[in-house]
Structure formats: C-alpha cells, structure tokens
Amino acid sequence: MSGMIETMEAHTGQEERTHIPARVLYRRVEALAETFAAAGDEKNAKKSQQLLEKLYKKEFTVAFCGHFSAGKSSMINALMGDKVLPSSPIPTSANVVSIKTGKKSARIYFKDSEPIEFGPSYNVNELKQYAVNGEEVETIELYHPSNLLGEAISIMDTPGIDSTDDAHKVSTESSLHLSDAVLYVMDYNHVQSEVNFRFTKSLKDRGVPVYLVINQIDKHVDFELSFAQYRESVIDAFRHWDIEPDGVYFTSLKDVNHPENEWPKLLVELGRLFAEKEDLLIPSIMRAAHYLIDEHGKFLEEKHSAAREPLAQVLAEADENAMARYEELTQQLVSLRQPADTLEAEAKRELHTMLDNAPLMPFTTRELARQFLESRQSNFKVGFLFAAGKKTKEERDKRLHDFYEELKENAATHIGWHVKELLRKLPEAHGYDDSEFQKRVMEFSVSFGPELIENAVKPGALTSGEYILTYSKDVSDAIKQLYRRAAQDEYEYAVREMRKQAEVSAQGVQAELATLAPVKEAYNKLAVLAREETVSATRLMTMIDHGVPNEESAPPLPGYTEPAAEKVENASLPAAASGERVTLQTQASTSGMAPSSSAIQKDYRGLRLRTADMLRVIAGEAAGVPGLAGAGSAMRQRAERLEKNRFTVALFGAFSAGKSSFANALMGDLILPVSPNPTTAAINKILPPDENNPHGSVRVRLKTAEDITGDVLQSLDVFDIAASSIEEAIRKSETLNAGDIHPTAKPHYSFLRAVQKGYGDINDKLGTDLIIGLEEFQAFVAKEEKACFVEWIELYYDCPLTQQGIILVDTPGADSINARHTGVAFEYIKNADAVLFVTYYNHAFSHADREFLIQLGRVKDTFAMDKMFFIVNAADLAHSQEELEGVVNHVVQNLGTCGIVRPRIYPVSSQTALLARMGEKNTLTDSGAAILRKRLSVGETEALPSVDEALAFSGLRHFEKEFISFTLEELTGIALKEAFAEVERVIGTMDELIIAARQDAGARAEQLGRAERNRETSLATIRELDTAADIQALEKEVTELAYYVKQRVMLRFSEAFRYAFNPATLTEGNGRNMQKLLRASLDELSRFLAFDLAQEMRATALRVETFMAKNGEKITGRLNKRLDIDHFLLRAWEQPSYDTPAFADQLPEGTTGELAAALSLFKNPKQFFEQGGQDKMKDTLEQRYQVPVQAYVDGAAHVLHDYYVPAFRTQIERLAERAGQEVEEHFAGLIAVLSTDIDVEGLASLRQAIAGRIQAVRAEMDI
C-alpha cells in the first residue's frame, strides 16, 4: 500500500520557488490590493497592504502557534533572554503580539482608537489587561534588546488554540499571513489532537514552513513507553495525516539537561532561518499572496450569495431531472446533427491522409517515368536509317503504354480500392446505411487516359533526376485530384441526405427544449456567477505569477540588491493550487444508485442458472413427445452452457499504464501487484472460486523447459548468437556488453539477465503447476528472476464481478518481448467477450502500443458487436476540465490513426476509485484517506463523500455502468433469448402436432401421405446440396485478402525504415561498431516487417472466419428455402471456435546477403540523415524486400487455404448431417401423431404448461 500512496503523492507537486525582484513583486502585490479594494474586499486589501509594508521593510517573521498551555510564552521569553510576555496556565493573550529587537518599549494598537505607547519602565503584568482584551485591542508590538533577533526580524505570538474554532480564528483573523515560518508548540501530553493535525495541515497545504515543537518532555516516564517509541509515534501520527513538517523538535525548558532536549538544536535552526531571511522572504510573500487570492475567492462567493438565492430557487422548484433532461435533449440534438458533420470532417481528413500517403510513384514506376520522359526528348531515336522513325515511334508508344498501365494498376491498388472501402464503411459507421448510396459506391470508379501523362510534360524539360521527381509528383497529384473530386461528390451526397433526415427528427426535441428554457437560464446565470469567481481567481493568479503592466519600470526598493540586467522569471504554483476541481466523469449520474459501490444491480448469474433449470425441466417434460428428442438434447446442452457461462474480459495496455491498478479498482482491493518487469510479465487471470480452488488461492503455471529454452534462444538470436541448449545460451549471454546493445534489444538483454539469475533455483520445477498463497503470488510478479519463468497465473478471488461469472485477464504489456504473447494476445482479442485497453494520462503511445492498436483497428469491424473499451487512466492529473477533454480528444485522434473510429473512451482515476472502495471496506489508511481527500478536493473538516459519489467523480462509475450493460446485460440477454428461442421452437412443434392430431381420420391419412413424400423429398434435397460455389467463394476470398496484405505492409515500409534506422541508434563514437549497428538496424527492419505480416495474417484469418460464418448462415437459409417445410426451420448455423493458424515470426531465408549489400550506401551519419543517403537506402531496400515479403504472403495464404477450406467443407458436411437428422425427427414425430392415436388433450395441457413456464421466467427476468 505504501508504494501506491507514494506514487499518488508524487502527483501533487510542490511549489516552485522562483526568484522575482522585490520591486516587481511590490508592484504585483500593490495591484492585488487595488483589485481587492475595488471589489469591496477591505479585509484582504488591508492584508495586502500589510504584505507591502513587510516587503518594503524586509521584515522576516517567525510565528509561534499552539495550545494556550503548551509553553509558547515561556519559550519566547527564553529566546529573548528575559520575561517579555506574561505566562500562565490560563490563556494570557487574545491578540497577536509582535516582538522585535530594539530599546525596550510597547505599543498597543486599538481597533477604533489611537494607539498608546509605554516607555522602558513598563511592567510585563501591565500588558495582561490589553493582551486578553480581544474585543478592543487589535495588535501589540513589543521592542526588547536581543542577541538572537537581528534588524527587521520579528517574533509573533498568536492566541492559544484549544479548538477548531480557535484554529480558524488564528488562521484567518490573525496576522499569520505575515509569517515566514511557523513554530507549532504542543504540550507533551496533547500532541495527537485533531486540532493540531488539521491546523498544521492547513498551513502545509498553503506551503508555509512548519516546525513542530513538542514541549514539556520532562513529563515523559520511561517505564510506560520508551522515548524512542514516543518520538516515532509522534512522527507517524503526523505522517498519517500526510503532514511532512520542516522540522520536529522535542524540548524542555524546565529540565534543560534532559537527555532528549533539543532546545539547542531549535535555536540553531532559528539562527539559520534568520541568516537566510533575504532568500526566504520573496517566496514567502508570493505564498501569502496566493493565500489572499484564495481568501478573496471566498469573499466573492459570499458577495454573490444574494444573487444566487432566487436562481437556486428556480432550480429547486423545477423537476429534479430538468437540467439533466435539458442536457439530454441538447445532446440528442447534437447527436442528430453531429454524425453528418463528423462524417464530413472524417471523410475529408481520411481521404486527405489516404491520398497523401498513397505510393503511386515507387522506384519501379519512377524508372518507367524516366524512360517515358527520355522518349519525349527531341534527340531520342531507336534503330538506324530508314527504319529509325518507325521504331522510334513504336518505342515511344511502348514506353507510354508501360508507364500508363503501371500507373493505372498503382492507382487501382493504392487508391481505388481504399477509397471505395472508405466510402463503403465510413458513412455506415456514422449511422448512414442507405441501399441507394451503397449502390453508388459499388459503381464508383475513376478513370484517366494516357493524355494525362503526356499533358504533364513541361515543354523543353530535360530528363534530370530533379525533373523526374518533379514530373512524377505532378502526375501523382493530378491522379489524386481526380480521385479526391470523385470521392468528395459521393461523401457530400451522403452528408446532405443525413442532414435532411436529422432535421426531420429534431423538430420534437426543439419543442421540448423550449419548455425547459427558464430552468436553463437560471442554471446559466448561476454558472456565470461561478465563472466570474473562477475568472477572478485566474486573473489574480496570473497577475501575481506572471506579472502586471509596466512592472519592469518599478523603482528599486531600499535595501535590496538586484542585478542590473535581471530578467523577471514567472513564479507559479501548480494548477491544483487554484482549487479547481476537475470532473473526470462528465456523463454519469449517481441518481437512483443503490448504497453498494458495485455497479452490478442485478443477479445475472442467477438469471442464467434459473433459465438453465427451466430448460432441463422442459427437456424432461418433452422427452415423451414424438419428434422432440433432438430438441430435448439441444436444450440440455444449452442449459449446460448457461451454467458454465463465463464472460472473459481481456485487459491490455503498455507497461506502467496502470492496468493492475485499474483491475484492482474493478475488484475493490489491492489484489494484483504492480509488475516491475515489463518484459517478463505473465498472464494473470482473476477467476471465481470453485470447489477445488477456494478464495485467495493461486495457481502458477511455470513454462516448460522447451518454452523457456525457445524464449531464451529467441532473445539470444537478437544478438546474432546461436546456442543448442539453455545452459549454453546462459553461458554465452554472460559475455554480452550492455553498452554495445541496440536500443530495441535492451528488453531482450534484461530478460536474459533475469534467466541467468533465477534458472538454478527453478529449473527442476519447469513445466509444473504450483499452488501458492497471495503472499508468494506477490513474489512471482515482483521478482524478475521468478517472473520470467511464469507462463500464467490464476488467482481465485471472490468479489461482485467474479460472482457474476466474469473472468478478468490481465495480459502482458503491449511491449512484452515474449514472441508467444503476441499470438496469445490475438486469441484474447478474438475470443474475449470484452477488450479493455488502458493508456496512461497524457502519455504518448509507444511503438508497441501503436502496433497493438493497429491490430485492434484491423479486426474491430469483424466483430458482430463493438466489444472494445478504451481507458485513459490517471485522469486526476488533469489541471482543468478543458485539459482533460483535450487529452481525451488527442487519444481519440491517435486511435483514429490506428484505424479505430468512434471508440468508446473513458477517462478514469483508478487509484481514486480503489481508495474509495478500500474506504468502504475499512481497509484504507489515514494516509490513503488524505490522498482521497486531495483527489476529491474535500477539506479536512468536511466529511468524505459517499463511495458512490467518489466513484462517480473518479470516472469509474460511468465506465462500469456501460461496461456492465454490455458484458452482463447484453451478453446475458443474448444467451437467454437464444434459450427462449429453443423453447419457442418446441412450442411451435407441439402446436403443429396438436393440430395434426385433432384432424379427422381422412384428413390425417391424406396428411400422412404428404408427410412421407415430403420426408423423402427433403432428405434428397439435403443429399443433393451443392456448395461447390461456396467453397470457391471462400478460396477466392482467401486469395484476395492475402493479396491486399502485401500492399498494406509495404505501405508502412517508410515508417518501418525510419523506426529501424534512426539517428539515436546510428551514432558514432565511444568505440561503437557502425557496421554492427547497421546490421542490427537491418535485422530490426526485417523483424518489423515480419511482425507486421504475421499480425496482418492473423487479422486476415479472423476475416476469413467471419466470411465463413456469414456464408454458413446463407447456406442454411438457402437450404431452408429449398426444403420449404411448413412450421419447420433448421437450427442456425453454428460456427465453431477455430484456433488461429500459426504464422512465421521471421521472413523467409535466402535474401539476407542481397539486403545487407544495401548497407554500403551508408557513409556516415551526416551523409545518411542530412544529405539524402537515407532515402537512397530506403528506396533500394524497399525494392529488395518485395521478394521476401511476397514469399511470406504466398506461404501464409497457403496456410490459410489449407486450414480453413477443409474446415469449411467439414462444417458444411456436418450441417447436412445435422439437417438430415432434424428433418428425420420432424417428420417422424408428425408421422407418429398422424398414424397412431395419442393423448391430444394431454399434449395440449403440456404445451400450455411449458408456455406458462417460459412466460413466468420472462416476467421475472424482465426480458
């Protein structure tokens, strides 16, 4: 817990003390005073004037605060070396007393009359009557000779604090804003008082240096408690309140020789403060100015209270949901109109990006362009003498034809197909699904003739390299412009139609909005008042932090030395100091929530179990009915699936994104430890406990010897080192030098070091399962030498989520180096019921993040339901609502570049949510509670909000509401509806049997004959089912999908090249071997392309499975249509769950030498990165990678074909077999009823009983 709290505290920040010239600060505080006065805030205007006087006089003040009987006066007397203040066991002062060095005298300042002064002969006891007179006396100034106090140094004695009210009075009404440091003095026996904690915390929150002085330690008795224990308990008590004092001193003025007396140390510290006063004074006045600005904000709130009351009354009298309804209607209006606007903007942006990146002129095409331009030169000739003219023309025509045909092919491949896909998918994604528009898209095409190429040639142009590039760009731009105009016409048509539909739907919304306008007006006026207060605070903060007009011309203050050319720096506090509360959850509502913090408000698992019971009962009741044996078996199978039904939620995200913290927040406790090992993290599953695995038990699966060996050899291969065994690999890895390692290989190096360290202790346990407890579980995550050997960990934990059958899978970070993790991650993306991706607030996506998100983008549209949720974690770091929304929009845009459009995105603070839920369980420490207060902007004297309010503020409540709606409500609903459909099918069959049985003998005989004939005809139809075209369609789909894989991968070649060959890697010096670095970069490029190809093929495999499922449904529908049996339909096509085929993680061998030869184009970093060498190498390698990439794609396409085509054929055969069984059973039941006498009324009664049972269950479940 302590580590988590430290992480949270790191977010709060500290005041940055930046020096500002005194003359400039004087002008700024002066402006504050004027602003306060102009607003009628005389109290803070006066305090600002006091600050100006303090600054002008360079007066440094140390304030003594604390209990009235703690010995403050005695301590001040000891400092002064004389009795300057009266001391007594009862309160001796109700006023602030200021003590300065000088000739002995006293001055009494009254609130409503002139001050009076006492000469050197005054008696201390004479002051008592004034000191205790808080009604008439304002302050008392004492002057006394002192060796400790220097010029312009004062000590302030404040009234004693004995209650929260006393503390508030001292804090707000005294001159504490003038103090540069505070000594808080406590009686030995009254340290752990809430008043002490709250008062000192309020000072520390303002940034005031606070020194704790525990006085009268002579009261301590050792036999009760050692002094060391007492000291530690005092420090711990303040630490639990999140108070870190600037010093803690234990003192006794009664027993100066007490062994623990630190009075001398306190004197030394005060001497240091006085000596450094000039360095401390400016930051101290800045701090006080910020405090006065906060106090002015409270003044404005009070000032606006009269205007607020009638407006608040309007809101109070309105329906409590009026504003929510207004916002809902406004959002509806936006939602109706926004899709068209968003479509227009996205289409324009996507089209622009697509066309800009379309590689119409790769190296080979530019070469054809060069040859074409060469043929257009006036001196171009082919052949000799009389045949030269004809041959020259033929060659010119050939070069034009070759160039034109390749351009057409490039345009169709790199633009045409993608534009068509964009026009097909994007409007549909924004809710526009119109058959007429889809027809337009299907017919969309762009054509151009050879004249475009010819017209682009500039008269008199030469075939220089520079002009070839210019010409290529001109041609490319001309073609792209044709596509741009044509595509624009199409998406603008869609936008116009969408807007027409939106305006028709908006009429009713606008009418209801008009009735709510008065409530909205009152709400807006209240918001204006609040905004005025916020704007005022922001303006004043800007004034004090960043300056006022003409401040540089302010005259110097006497006694200050400033550099002649000093530049004024901006001093600022973190945004949190402004007190702005950032709302992380902007759409959630806590109205109507149950007291429990769980978002699960219904027993979904109970619904599934009761439905399973119903299915079993009905299956038993229908067992004796002819023709229902198969239905009974199907219901029992579905009942078993409902009982075992689990919802798998896969959690993804880069290392340190806060995945574990987010999972803990969902579970409500510190369950998953944070792994410090990004490269070796295992798969952690949190499952419901069962009879074999009780709550809190953990099962650890260690990697097999073969798997860990494979992982080690894979990492070793990154360094071009081969080994035949893990022992040999470990020996060889010890020779690696960390300084010579390519940056992308660092994770592999760390992994190898972990294996070296832990192999000896764990090698005899490899391949086994370990049953451990939660404490050992921590070690297997936290210790790298153990974690690297773990395959997966299963933690059985009882909580609201797992009770409903949810399995939470915390996957390795997107940056895991384990090759198997990529494949495992894809299986979870593919098969999980929900996918959660966690990113950390304001962190840029790493390369690994982007690759993972690109994969999500590839497959997102293949799922029947959008099951992806995106979390922006640690959103409490936002300084303002505007900043938070900016970050979220930035994430949305970045997801868009990865192909993820319209993501469901949720800003949350998982730590805030976790603290709230721990508080609900009473497992939250005081320090954690203090952090929670900071997060929720709750003062120390205020009660913490309810856990539901805290969860709503954290953003987790809104996420959970939609997450539960999807995972439990929607998915459970689908499962239950399928179960009910099975029962409805049984009822339909029974209805047919009852009707048939009730016919007279003649009709039954006639129907019996038809049934027997229809059975034979139907069985023949099934036997003759021809699916050759369906198989061919699948084969064609595989070929086409694989074709586009190469195109997409090579479109990313420039990105891959820049990633592998970058200036940070290819730097000279420090004895680095440039050839090794170049070879390592080439290897990294190959790995990038191989990884991208494998990811593309996995996504392609999923697309193939989707195609099979859709075609299977079509085949089933086609067969139903051909059978055409009354009151009968075949059961739906059941797509099996396929394991994704394995794809190679490296390119085919055999081209290494040819690729490596291109490295000779590198001369030195300057030539490479600044003089065009990089582009030459990229073009050369892009050309040479064509062959191995094509070979990979061809091989992978064969894998897809050989895996899925036979599987599809088998599935069709199973469909035909099952269809035959269903038809046989259907007609067998019908023939049995028609040919024999049955108890019709008994059957009808059973039918009614089953119908009543399903209706009762439906009513209970509200489905």
Segment 1007-1036 mean pLDDT: 90
Q: In sequence order, what are the residues at sequence separation of 6 or more whose Cβ sits closer than 8 angstroms to the Cβ of residue 1084?
A: 742, 744, 1059, 1060
Q: Residue 813 above 70 pLDDT?
A: no
Least confident of 524-528, 734-738, 820-824, 1064-1068: 820-824
Reported as a single tens digit per residue, the pLDDT across 1110-1153 is 899 889 988 988 888 877 888 888 888 899 999 988 898 766 77
Nearest to 351 by CA among 442, 494, 496, 480: 480
pLDDT at site 5: 30
CA 494 to CA 434: how far, in whole Å? 9
pLDDT at 627 over 90: no
| Residue where the block lists tokens 């762009």 | 446
Task: Say yes or no to pLDDT of 1051 above 80.
Answer: yes
Burial class (CB in 10 A: 0-12, 13-18, 19+), 1124: exposed
pLDDT band at 184 (very low <50, low <70, confident <90, very high): very high
Q: Across all residues in the chain, what is the average pLDDT?
A: 82
Helices (H) and strands (E) in the chain, counts: 45, 18
Partners of 184 in the beta sheet? 65, 212
pLDDT-based confidence at 969, cuts 50/70/90? confident
> How many CA atoms are closer than 13 Å to the CA of 62, on its beta-carbon side?
27
pLDDT for res 655: 61
Higher-pLDDT residue of 1068, 1042: 1042
When pLDDT is cut at 50, 70 and 90, the band that residue 590 belongs to is very low
Mean pLDDT along residues 517-525? 83
On the question of pLDDT at 493 being above 80, the answer is: yes
Averaged pLDDT for residues 70-83: 87
Tens of pLDDT, residue by residue over 28-51, are: 999 999 999 998 999 999 999 999
* Average pLDDT of span 470-477: 91
Q: Where residue 675 falls among pLDDT bands split at 50, 70, 90?
A: low
d(CA 99, CA 117): 14
What is the C-alpha to C-alpha distance for residues 560 and 22, in angstroms, rounded to an integer? 7
Q: Would you state the pLDDT for residue 223?
A: 57
> What phi and psi values does residue 548 have, to the nearest 5 degrees?
-125, 160
Strands of 153-157's sheet in order across? 116-118, 105-110, 137-144, 96-101, 153-157, 60-66, 181-187, 210-215, 247-250
pLDDT of the residue at 855: 84
Label residue 597 by pLDDT band (50, 70, 90): low
pLDDT at 1169 over 80: yes
pLDDT at 743 over 50: yes
State which amino acid sits at residue 326.
Answer: Y
Whole-model pTM above 0.85? no
The CA-based diameter of the chain, rounded to the nearest angstrom, is 137
Chain mean position to CA 577: 25
- Say what the pLDDT of residue 32 is: 93
pLDDT (average), residues 219-229: 75
Every domain of the chain and the residues it spans? 17-57+279-297+525-568, 323-515, 604-638, 704-766, 998-1261
Enter the tokens of residue 1122: 């051909």
- The phi-psi region of residue 1127 (left if phi > 0; otherwise alpha if psi is between -120 and 50; otherwise beta) is left
Q: Band of the pLDDT at 379, cuts 50, 70, 90?
A: confident
- 746-798: pLDDT as tens digits: 678 878 888 998 898 888 999 999 998 887 887 787 677 888 898 889 999 99
Half-sphere exposure of 824 (CA within 13 A, CB side): 20
Supply the DSSP string of 1129-1184, one letter for each residue. Answer: -PPPP----PPPPP--SSPPSS-HHHHHHGGGG---HHHHHHSSHHHHHHHHHHHH
Q: For 317-331, 612-626, 698-712, which range has the lowest pLDDT when averaged over its residues?
A: 317-331
Q: Please determine, for residue 79, whether its predicted confidence score (pLDDT) is greater than 50.
A: yes
pLDDT at 588: 31
pLDDT of residue 1190: 93
Res 1035 pLDDT > 60: yes
Could you give the CA distance from residue 1152 to residue 1241 in angstroms, rounded to a whole number? 81
Cα–Cα dist 1121/1123, whole Å: 6
Helix (H) or strand (E) holding 274: helix 263-275
Q: Average pLDDT, stretch 604-617?
A: 83
Q: Residue 532 — very low, low, confident or very high, per pLDDT cuts 50/70/90? A: confident
Residues 6+ away with beta carbon under 8 Å from 870 = 836, 837, 839, 891, 895, 900, 903, 904, 905, 906
Q: How confident is the model at residue 167 (pLDDT cuts 50, 70, 90)?
A: very low
